[in-house]
Amino acid sequence: MFKKISKFIPPIIVQAFYLASPALVLAANTDLVPGETIGQVDNIVLVVRGVIRFILVVAFVAAFVMLLIGGIRWITAGGDEKGVASARNMITAALIGLVVVLVAYAIIRLVEIFFGFDIITGGVNIPTYNQQ
C-alpha cells in the first residue's frame, strides 16, 4: 500500500512547488499595484454593471462552446446511436442555454427601457420625482 502511495508523493511535491512559485514571485514585487488604490471602489454601480456584463458574456460563450462540442461529438459519433443521442442532448442543452442568456439580456433591456434607468448599457441615470 505504501509503495503505491509513494509513487504519487514526489509529483505532488513538485506540483505544489510549481503552484507556489508564482505566488513567491508576485510577493517579492510590491510595485505592481500602488498601495493607495487597493480596496477603493468609487462607484458600486460600475462594479455591478461589470459583474452583470461578465456573467452574460461568460454564459453566452459557455453555451456556444457546448454547442460546438455537441456538433463535433455528433460528427465523430460515426452512426453510434448512443453517441448521436448524447450529442443531440448536448446540442439541445446548449441551445436552451443560449435562449436563456438571450432572454435574460432582453429582460434586462426591457427593465432599462420601462423604468428609464441603465443597468448594463450606459451611465447612471437615477429616476427622480419632481413635485409640482
Query: How far apart (Å, rounded) are the C-alpha atoms in residues 93 and 99?
Result: 10
Query: pLDDT: is 112 or 118 the higher one?
Result: 112
Query: pLDDT: is 2 or 91 the higher one?
Result: 91
Angstrom CA distances, 6 to 9, 18, 19, 83, 110, stand at 5, 19, 21, 39, 60
pLDDT tens profile 53-112: 888 889 999 999 999 999 999 999 888 899 999 999 999 999 999 999 999 989 988 988
State the pLDDT at residue 89: 94
- Under 8 Å between Cβ of 65 and 98: no
Cell of 72: 463535433
Place of cell 436563456: 100
| pTM greater than 0.85 (yes/no) | no
Least confident of 40-49, 52-61, 67-76, 113-122: 40-49
